[in-house]
Amino acid sequence: MTGFITAVFVIFLVVGMPIGFVLGVTGLLSMLKMNVPSILQLVPQRYFAGVDMFTLMAMPFFILAGDIMNKTGITQKLVKFSNVLVGHLQGGLAHANIVASVFFAGLTGAAVSDTAAIGSMLIPAMVEEGYDKDFSAAVTASSSIIGPTIPPSNIMVIYGAFMQVSIAGLFLAGILPGILVAVALMILTARISKKRGYPVGQRRATLKEMILAFKEAFVALLMPIIILGGILSGVFTPTEAAAVAVAYALFVGFVVYRSITVRDLVPIFIKMARTTGVVFLVIAAASILGWVLTMEQIPEKVANLMLGISTNKWVVMGMILLLLLFVGMFMDIAAALIILGPILHPLAVKMGFHPLHFGIIMVLSLNIALMTPPVGACLFVACGISRLTIEQLSREIFPFILVVVSVLILITVFPGIPLFLPRLMGYAPW
């Protein structure tokens, strides 16, 4: 039965069927082969049960809040503030691109939105200042994965909901790894900028200029503080925090900046509905296939296969990382998370990895897929903005991929990095 499931899944995926339909049809055909009774009742029940989770409501709210904040023009203020902080360095605009992604992460939790918002501003600006177009696009695409690593993160919401892991704990665990990714990318950027002679900022910003830029960006920087602070203090749940984020974004847009109108909200709501609909379709369809995998004891078989190769926890984790990085190259990260999470999470915990630690490992592994050819979503967005081909951008982004993978290995080997803040706040034992 395992071979049948794998063959059907791969065939439909290769012929180009959308991943949501691949999951659902594979699950349905597998049920038919298993002669499951009352299949016409079971399939819709599983389909509905897949999205019948209160915590998943946080995802559309976070998407909506980020899109509203972006519409207010806050992106320009974040980029300006980032440029004031690091624009004096060699390759200053490239460094500002990375720092802006760190700040932008607190608004959307989505890498593709980061690529589109920041890339549309900074890729043309970097090219105009003398940076190579492929380098400008590579910096934008690679730094965008910081978005779903630093809270709020939509993929963390999905992981926490399905694996029954604290979403607040995951948010905390993602902060230091996200900052490490930014620092690593800036080190690589500095080296490339020096080697290629990219522009150097004219002067370091004065304290007064920094304060003014901070004031302009303050309302955006306050949003993640409200979200995380409210969750950690127990004032509201992650889902309620997402709703509060929407209310705050509306307040900023209508009252503080007065830069949006009710008419502007219509396309924002439509975009949110489309994005959420696609992800929820994948989640619902994956629930059907997930039932089949559970009935066929696929998670246990995969675990036994890996443990049959080695019982050393680091060898097993190495195999898991290779699997996640490989699958992420060809599959939507939400689908990969939903399918592989129930299989790999119990195995990792059994091998002695803390649930929050493995959660961040899995999240960052799949986030890397967003910048990895052939189907990395951030690559396609960056190519659309820069008018480069995937082949051109893939060559330039390869060193950035290696750097982020190095950070992934670092946080895997040293669990104290992602677990420091959760331990400090009582979400994990010391």
Each residue of 329-347: pLDDT tens digit? 777 787 788 888 888 998 8
AA identity, residue 95: H
Paired tokens of 245: 């984020």
Query: pTM of the entire structure?
Result: 0.86
Measured between alpha carbons, how far is 68 from 219 in angstroms, rounded to an integer? Answer: 13
pLDDT grade for 400, boundaries at 50, 70 and 90: very high
Whether 112 and 69 have beta carbons less than 8 Å apart is answered as no
Whether 182 and 161 have beta carbons less than 8 Å apart is answered as no
Q: What does the pLDDT look like over 215-274, one tens digit per residue?
A: 888 888 888 888 888 888 888 888 888 889 889 889 988 888 888 888 888 998 998 888
Q: Report the pLDDT value the prediction gives residue 420, as an integer from 0 to 100.
A: 94
Query: Mean pLDDT, the chain, as a whole number?
Result: 86
Residue with tokens 């699997």: 323
In this model, does residue 415 exceed pLDDT 90? yes
* Intra-chain end-to-end CA distance of the chain, in Å: 43
pLDDT grade for 202, boundaries at 50, 70 and 90: low
Measured between alpha carbons, how far is 284 from 51 in angstroms, rounded to an integer? Answer: 6
Whether 191 and 54 have beta carbons less than 8 Å apart is answered as no
Q: Report the pLDDT value the prediction gives residue 37, as an integer from 0 to 100.
A: 80
> Which element (helix H / strand E) includes 213?
helix 207-232
Measured between alpha carbons, how far is 289 from 31 in angstroms, rounded to an integer? Answer: 9
Q: Report the pLDDT value the prediction gives residue 388, as an integer from 0 to 100.
A: 85
In this model, does residue 114 exceed pLDDT 90? no
